[in-house]
Amino acid sequence: MLADPDVAAAVERLGHDLVVRTVREVAQRARDGLLAPEQVVPETVAALPDSASGLRPVVNATGVLLHTNLGRAPLSAAAREALQVAAGTTDVELDLDTGDRGPRGASAVEALVQAVPGAEAAHVVNNGAAALALVATALAAGREIVLARGEMVEIGDGFRVPDLLTSTGARLHEVGATNRARLDDYRHALGPDTGFVLKIHPSNFVISGFTAEVPVSRLRELDVPVVADIGSGLLRPDPVLPGEPDAASTLADGADLVIASGDKLLGGPQCGLLLGREEVVRRLRRHPLARALRVDKLTLAALEATVRGPRPPVAEALHRTGLAERAAALADSLAASGIPAEALESGATVGGGGAPGAVLPSAAVALPGRFAKQLRLGDPPVVARLERGRCLLDLFAVEPADDEVLRRAVLAAH
């Protein structure tokens, strides 16, 4: 069996053990009389996966740009190319000029500092929660973190920021009420045990009505370090999301340190970004915990290519036009094939803890609800959203080149 050309080619692509297991399973079916002997080879080849990885490419037609269940930000072509280079042997921690050990990922850190006005230094860890844990450990272990009650958030999968902070050995000093906090609340909480004041972007909810919060520009008046977790990862302001905090503006307002995620609105790989004053970043970088939280060469390569390279898919989607025309063309094509399809206006969201409450104008193709499961089980899988019993293919996060993929997927599911 392994000598068969088709099976041998599969061994080269998928590895010996996986193919052998599949051969044995299919051969046993033949021994049990469930399969003709001449069918063993084609059945084996058909049963093998396309790749050695269990992950499958998925078309995101949900209207949620940064869908956590779908891996958040898709990487740019430049970032994917950088991953290919980094997958080999690289100079990630070597100074080629001197032959000595060099600073890890120096070019990626340099790219971040150059991209964010006001950032004296930067450090990268493996996600946003890791960044917050490192800051709490390095600056406030055994001491107090002062933060507003309304910013003690819970995000996805039951993860609570206060639990993370206290797990580092820091104590929390809550100030204000759930809906209102004032500068004097912070001022009265300060003492000799204060490590820093923390400002947390709510990320996935909005409090409206009788509310008040203290911006970073006012917190700067306090005589303690100010750390701002902006969450979604904008490095600079974006007119499409005027209410979303960004790293450059937050540093300009007086934050000593800004924490952000790399795989959200920045559009890069999963990582946690720490940008701010040289003294503070150096202290974080030299803390023993930083070693446990550091990122690998693949992340550094993809991050640098995202920051330096062309606009990534997330930014392209935010600024894309022509969605209504694309939806109309797709609906007309499907209707011509006898499928009840209708183009309509839609509302997309950022997702992934970005721009909570913001609804972005989009367009979708509405199909009967039964299509949702059929499309999800197709090849490639298409993940739509169900709304009022209809299956909506929202085009906000769909690349124009994938409109034909959508069309074929719907025809196959019909």
Please tell me whether residues 265 and 328 are part of one structural domain. no
Please tell me whether residues 160 and 262 are part of one structural domain. yes
> In total, how many domains does the chain have?
3
Please tell me whether residues 256 and 378 are part of one structural domain. no
- What residues make up the domain containing 341? 59-71+316-413
Tell me whether residue 209 is in a domain. Answer: yes
Query: Residue 357: its pLDDT value, please?
Result: 79
DSSP-derived secondary structure for 133-162: HHHHHHHHTTSEEEEEGGG--B-GGG-BHH
Please tell me whether residues 270 and 142 are part of one structural domain. yes
- Residue type at position 89: T
- ω before 380 within 30° of 0 (cis)? yes
Query: Residue 204: its pLDDT value, please?
Result: 65
Please tell me whether residues 205 and 329 are part of one structural domain. no
Please tell me whether residues 259 and 338 are part of one structural domain. no
Please tell me whether residues 11 and 119 are part of one structural domain. no
Q: Where a domain ends, among 291, 310, 329?
A: 310
- CATH code of residue 88: 3.40.640.10
Please tell me whether residues 337 and 294 are part of one structural domain. no
Query: Residue 53: its pLDDT value, please?
Result: 87
Tens-place pLDDT, residues 297-311: 999 999 999 999 999
- CATH code of residue 324: 3.90.1150.180
CA dist., res. 125 & res. 300, Å (int): 10
Tell me whether residue 365 is in a domain. Answer: yes
Longest Cα–Cα distance in the chain: 82
The chain-wide mean pLDDT, for the chain, equals 94
Query: Residue 207: its pLDDT value, please?
Result: 78
Query: Residue 272: its pLDDT value, please?
Result: 97
Q: Where a domain ends, among 288, 310, 332?
A: 310
Residue that the structure tokens 């946690």 belong to: 272
Please tell me whether residues 149 and 211 are part of one structural domain. yes
How many CB atoms sit inside 10 A of residue 215's CB?
14
Please tell me whether residues 321 and 305 are part of one structural domain. no
The fraction of the chain above a pLDDT of 90, given in percent, is: 88
> Do residues 355 and 390 lie in contact, with contact meaning Cβ atoms separated by under 8 Å?
no
Tell me whether residue 53 is in a domain. Answer: no
Query: Residue 69: its pLDDT value, please?
Result: 94
Please tell me whether residues 40 and 96 are part of one structural domain. no
pTM of this structure:
0.91
CA dist., res. 354 & res. 362, Å (int): 17
Cα dihedral 52, 54, 57, 58, rounded to 10, equals 160
Q: Where a domain ends, among 310, 328, 359?
A: 310
Q: What is the mean pLDDT of each run of 10 residues along the chain (414 residues)?
A: 91 93 94 92 91 91 96 97 96 93 93 96 96 97 96 82 95 94 97 96 78 94 96 90 94 97 96 98 97 97 98 96 98 96 96 85 97 96 96 98 97 94
Please tell me whether residues 320 and 300 are part of one structural domain. no
> Do residues 381 and 412 lie in contact, with contact meaning Cβ atoms separated by under 8 Å?
no
